[in-house]
Amino acid sequence: MKLFVYHTPELTPTDQAPECAIAVDVLRATSTMATVLAAGGEAVQVFSDLDQLMEVSEKWPPLQRLRAGERGGAKVAGFELGNSPLDCTPELVQGRRLFISTTNGTRALKRIQDAPTVIAAALINRAAVVKFLLEKQPETVWIVGSGWEGSFSLEDTVCAGAIAHSIVQHTQLSPDDIAGNDEAISAIALYSQWQDNLLGLLQHASHGKRLLRLDCYEDLKYCSQTDILDVLPIQQELGVLKSLG
């Protein structure tokens, strides 16, 4: 198994696909997706385009759908939810499908949706992702960070490092043995340095600071936790993720 880390969807190779692709948007799309499915949501359907989301979700009965829209960290007007996992309570999401479009995370999922296996990962469900990888042993794995509008983000890279670091620990392999590119080595190094203060790292991150200005400290606190949800959002049909956990 070789892990390739890409800091943004735009950096992924266009002429090939991995056996397994993992989208990461710690702040906050993939954290929200994992939370919704762990709380009993029927599925998460992702859209990069808000108009398309509205068109598709209109075909669902109101009591069976929830619309989540975020642009620039803020909730889209007219949607029930923004992109805060803390709003996704079991009472609200149980049995409902979440139709979601965010600034960065849904773009990452769209970029990798043609891979044979597509997973959404965050720090909060890291252990479930690692367990799946160790059981299935895909030959090539891309961990694709969402970044922020095409640029590097600390929080997604540290999550990629958290996944790779855990695989190293479970297999007794070295980082060199599993790293498919230099970015994987750097991601492991970043996680190793910050693993005991992930909240601190998220507060240093540019998007973390953006969310703090929007009074979202509790979101950062929640998203900085590791291994609290035993849920694996995995693509069942194009753009639709359901839980294996």
Whole-number pLDDT of residue 71: 87
Q: Tally the domains of the chain.
A: 1
pLDDT of 41 > 70? The answer is: yes
CA-to-CA dists, residue 159 to 25, 53, 152, angstroms: 9, 28, 13
Range of the domain at 198: 1-239
- Residue 200, in any domain of the structure: yes
Whole-number pLDDT of residue 35: 98
- CATH code assigned at 218: 3.90.1560.10
Burial 40-68 (b: 16+ CB within 10 A, else e): bbbbbbbbbeeeebbeebeeeeeeebbbb
pLDDT of 245 > 80? The answer is: no
- Residue 245, in any domain of the structure: no
- Residue 109, in any domain of the structure: yes
Whole-number pLDDT of residue 107: 87
- Residue 244, in any domain of the structure: no
- Residue 63, in any domain of the structure: yes
Backbone angles phi, psi at 132, to 5 degrees: -60, -45
- Residue 94, in any domain of the structure: yes
- Residue 24, in any domain of the structure: yes
Whole-number pLDDT of residue 170: 97
Strand-pair partners of 70: 75
- Residue 39, in any domain of the structure: yes
pLDDT > 90: percent of the chain: 90
